[in-house]
Structure 1
Amino acid sequence: MSQTLYLECYSGISGDMTVAALLDLGADQQLLKKALKSLPITGFETVISRVKKAGLDVCDFYVKLDQDNHDHDMAYLHGDDHHHQGEKHTHHHLTEPGHHHPHQEKKNHSHDHRGLPEIVEIINQAQITDHAKALAIRIFSIIADAEAKAHGVDRERVHFHEVGAVDSIVDIVAVAVCLDNLNIREVIVPDVYEGRGFVRCQHGVIPVPVPAVTHIAASHQLNLHITDTNGELITPTGAAIVAAIKTCDQLPRQFAIEKTGIGAGKRTYDRPSLLRAMLITDKSKKNGDIYKLETNIDDCGGEILGFVMERLFEAGARDVHYIPVYMKKNRPAYLLNVICSEADIETLEQIIFEETTTIGNRRIQMESIGLKRTIKRMLPGCYSVRKNRPLDRR
């Protein structure tokens, strides 16, 4: 059974925070480790642990790389006046060929970068489900498109640094595997909180939200909420994850929380770096909720209307009836009412548009209530309730 996920991004979002929150929700750690081990890349190991954040016991997911000098501390990101507080944050960037991180030792150029096609091939070789592969590739594609737009280059010319690519591949594949393992298909993200100011990257000092994040937010209608926090709360990976998995930005009027998971971030600002994830059940939809489809129809013969009624019942309508009405210039017409469940709306509307002369339809959500019904076989000699006469004994 698929589940609905609600991401509460009051402290922003990043790849490692998302993985940690999903693991805390119950994603299978051994399954994840097996999936990451199947990736045809080396130079990393993952550490899953419990840490304290603001006094809360939360999950931490850390990708430990053989070359860890691309992890920027707070002083590097924000300048010497911003003191490092004992935590590091892996901040990857997509770059054009020939650009290198100022603190990264240059390696053999033929292995220095990975483009999107190479990363897609790596993901496709992993021993994970097709759904997880497709999701991971979608997340990477969203980042590549945003970085290409930010730097004014073609998508094919945008590459990851090799070390940063490993970190990003692990985070993104881990997110896809965990979501698939939890069978999450609906994801609600009302808004994502971001900081302000400037951060350093290999291109220089850039504003927050960083350009890649703003392009992702614009292309995928993310709801940003800018806070007074001086720093970057949303990483490009985090923004791309939201863009790839969000199916709704409105919480139900009422919902029950089935389970909660909290993932730890690696930065410390004026607010705890936490991502809270909840599996929820919509309680605002009652079992008796139904819809009425209401349509004005004129210039349509009775034979056609009778045929339409039969088709609507066959397609799942609970009830269908016509009401004689007068329309413009006192022209006789009919008001078609169809009672149905939400799942059947699209099918029934298609029949109405195909088979009648109407050009519009109204949807009205309703609540139904009725007497409890039972069906019983009446023995010979019993009386019919409806006509108050003995039933036929034959």
Structure 2
Amino acid sequence: HEHEHSHVPHEHHHHHEHRGLQEVIAIIDATDMSAAAKELALKIFDIIADAEAKAHAVEKNAVHFHEVGAIDSIVDIVAIAVCADSLGVENVIVPELCEGRGTVRCQHGVLSVPVPATANIMQRFGFNVRLLPVQGEFVTPTGAAAAAALMTTDELPQSFKILGIGLGAGKRQYERPSILRALLIEDNAQKKKSLNSNALQTDCICQLQSDIDDCSGELLGYTLERLLAAGALDAHYQPVFMKKSRPAWELTVICCEEDRAKLEALIFAETTTIGIRRARMERTVLPRRRDVVHTAYGDVAVKRCLLDSGERCYVEYDSAAKLAQEQGLPLQDIYLAAQLAQKNIN
């Protein structure tokens, strides 16, 4: 549909109003929904803006969204975020994106499928893509961004039970129905592990390391931000001394195995390193779930972890910092308010 894709300012004879990214962020910020849902909605729109900025070779804040498209996208994205938050789903599996072939008409004219913004998102987040033998666009930038923000893995469990089914149909008329189906599933293996609710969980992760002695601090800082945004579980630098007593930085990245390739590609692209060490590691983690507590200043996202001695609640930094900036308060005041709200719940 013609209003799906955003664009940068250019000369034209139509009198369309446009919304910049900051205006869209302000609209979402002002929406009455939980902190976790708002955080997810902003993440989805940020992914779209990044993809459009790359497609047009401009800064992210220079991207402008057509008014109608912005309204549709905001409604779609907010609905997705609220739904995901309400369901309380922590893991989202996207085995593949099924895209059509040929071209589609949008604000810029006729573009090849997948359109540039969608292709950028597919590349950035390492989606498995299957092209259907059908002419048309089956994956829009909004849909790809939502999948990118939600996806935690692309591998289905070997055995599972279906707890719920959701269906959505597009308006376009194609040779085959344009239907999106989502299944709410329960991993049979995980269910057996969780029969004892206090049981510790184990999984496998990757550790990536590289020693870098010829890269500026600005580039390293930017790389760290991109790694975390791209799905790294954790990332940090520490000072080291290399051969010939050269001061350097050792980059360490912890990630899921399915994210390894795309994060390695990002490190090679953004730093001067010519080699990355990697190791497969096992880890033990506490059972946890995301939640929201209500304070006098607003909602704050928290993480609840289960120990043998009971439940422990951790305030999510990003959520607390954002609320502190909005309210013009010290961050520690937000932390104290969230911790007090948690104690009152208990």
> Same fold per TM (> 0.5)?
yes
Task: Specify the alignment match of 1:140 in structure 2.
Answer: 45
Which of 46, 51, 54 aligns to 1:149? It is 54
1:10-52 Cα offsets, whole Å, 9 max, x none, are: xxxxxxxxxxxxxxxxxxxxxxxxxxxxxxxxxxxxxxxxxxx
Aligned to 2:201: 342
Identity %: 51
Q: How much does 1:287 deviate? A: 3.4
- Paired with 2:19 and 2:109, the residues of 1 have a C-alpha distance of 22
> Which gives a bigger RCO, structure 1 or 2 (Cα 8 Å, sep 6+)?
1
- Match of 1:92? 4
**Are 2:26 and 1:121 aligned?**
yes
Deviation per residue, 1:279-322 (Å, 9 max, x gap): 10001347369xxxxxxxxxxxxxxxxxxxxxxxxxx9xxxxxx
Q: Deviations over 1:186-216 (max 9, x none)?
A: 1011001000111122222211011111100
Q: Distance in 1 between matches of 2:57 and 2:203?
A: 46
Retained in 1: the 8 A contact 2:165–2:182? yes
Task: Tell me the SS of whatever aligns to 1:270.
Answer: coil
Q: Per-residue displacement from partner, 1:82-101 (whole Å, max 9, x unpaired)?
A: xxxxxxxxx4111112356x
- The amino acid of 2:82's aligned partner reads V
**What is the rounded CA distance, in whole Å, between the counterparts of 1:362 and 1:136 in structure 2?**
33
Alignment of 1:194-205 (within 5 A): 194-205=99-110
Q: Which residue of 1 aligns with 2:147?
A: 242
Q: Could you list the runs of 5+ residues in structure 2 that have no partner in the other structure? A: 206-278, 284-346
Q: What is the alpha-carbon root mean square deviation over aligned residues?
A: 2.8
Instruction: Structure 1 unaligned segments of length 5 or more: list them.
Output: 1-70, 73-90, 290-315, 317-339, 347-359, 365-394
Q: Which residue number in structure 1 is paired with residue 295 of structure 2?
A: none
Contact 2:121 2:144 in 1 (8 A): yes
* 2:154 aligned counterpart, secondary structure: coil
In structure 2, the partner of 1:269 is 174
Q: What do the CA deviations read for 1:142-174 (whole angstroms, capped 9, x no partner)? A: 000001111111111101011211111111111
Runs of 4+, deviation exceeding 2 Å: 284-289, 340-346, 360-364
Residue type at the aligned position of 1:95: H
Say if 1:157 and 1:179 are closer, same or farther in 2 by CA, change over 3 A.
same
Which has the larger helix fraction? 2
**Residues 99 and 148 of structure 1: is their aligned pair in 2 closer, same or farther, counting only changes over 3 Å?**
farther
**Structure 1 residue corresponding to 2:35, chosen from 95, 117, 130:** 130
Secondary structure at the aligned position of 1:212 is classed as helix
Cα separation, 2, equivalents of 1:92 and 1:125:
23
Cα–Cα, structure 1 residues 260 and 286, in superposed 2: closer, same or farther, change >3 Å? Answer: closer
**Alignment partner of 1:159 is 2:42:** no
Work out the number of aligned pairs and report it: 209
Aligned match of 2:87: 182
TM-score (norm 1): 0.49
What is the match of residue 306 of structure 2? none
Amino acid of the structure 2 residue aligned with 1:213:
T
Asked if the contact 2:4/2:106 (under 8 Å) is kept, the reply is no
Rounded to whole Å, the distance in 1 between the matches of 2:153 and 2:134 is 26
Maintained 8 Å contact 2:19/2:67: yes
Q: CA contact under 8 A between 2:203 and 2:282: conserved in structure 1? A: no
